[in-house]
Amino acid sequence: MKKLTILFFSILLIAGLSCKKSQTSTTLVITVTDGRTGSPAAGATLFLFDSSAGVLSNSPKYSATTDQSGKASITIAFVSQYFVVAQNATGKNYYSGLIPTGIFETQTEIQDSPAQTPAGVIGGVKFQDTNGDGVITAADDVSAPVVSITANTKNSFSTTIY
């Protein structure tokens, strides 16, 4: 009877361990370009968030730094999407809800663009008029750029910082 009891609990233990699900991981390669120069953004810091709440609370799930070619390869747990924020000393791909689209190069370009606060200046960041009303305001706020992930594959994402 004692041997039977030990055998029974051994089988339960083995069955319990074999049913444990392993977490699926995948690789994400992110390429960051400096929009001011068109060059790879070496040394840019990348933050991956698994929710928009994580972006708002600045609680990244992962972080990495790009190499000389502007790339970073990160092994991540599989979730269907991550929010990606990239930044370096001179630029970002996301400004508290606003998406940069370029740099103002002339006064005419500033005058022909949607008004923004603070006012655009030559060499300053130009933002996307998401709602098309001709003015950059809180109404243009969007979530950070998102990368969709496919499990067990090498996923790629590119972003530009301004």
d(CA 149, CA 155) in angstroms, rounded, equals: 6
pTM of the full structure: 0.81
Domain boundaries, the chain: 24-95+143-162, 98-142
- Among 9-18, 25-34, 50-59, 122-131, the minimum mean pLDDT is found in 9-18
Q: Which helix (H) or strand (E) holds 108?
A: helix 107-111
For the domain made up of 24-95+143-162, give the CATH fold.
Answer: Immunoglobulin-like (2.60.40)
**Cα angle 75-99-77, degrees, rounded to a multiple of 5:** 15
Specify the length of the chain in residues.
162
Tell me the C-alpha to C-alpha distance, in Å, between residue 29 and each of 42, 55, 155.
14, 20, 6
Is a pLDDT exceeding 90 seen at residue 21? no
Smallest Cα–Cα separation from 84: which of 66, 60, 56, 57? 60
pLDDT in tens, 52-80: 999 999 999 999 999 999 999 999 999 99
| 3-state secondary structure (DSSP) of residue 15 | helix
CB count within 10 Å of CB 68 equals 8
pLDDT in tens, 85-121: 999 998 999 999 999 999 999 999 999 999 998 899 9
Mean pLDDT on 15-37 = 77
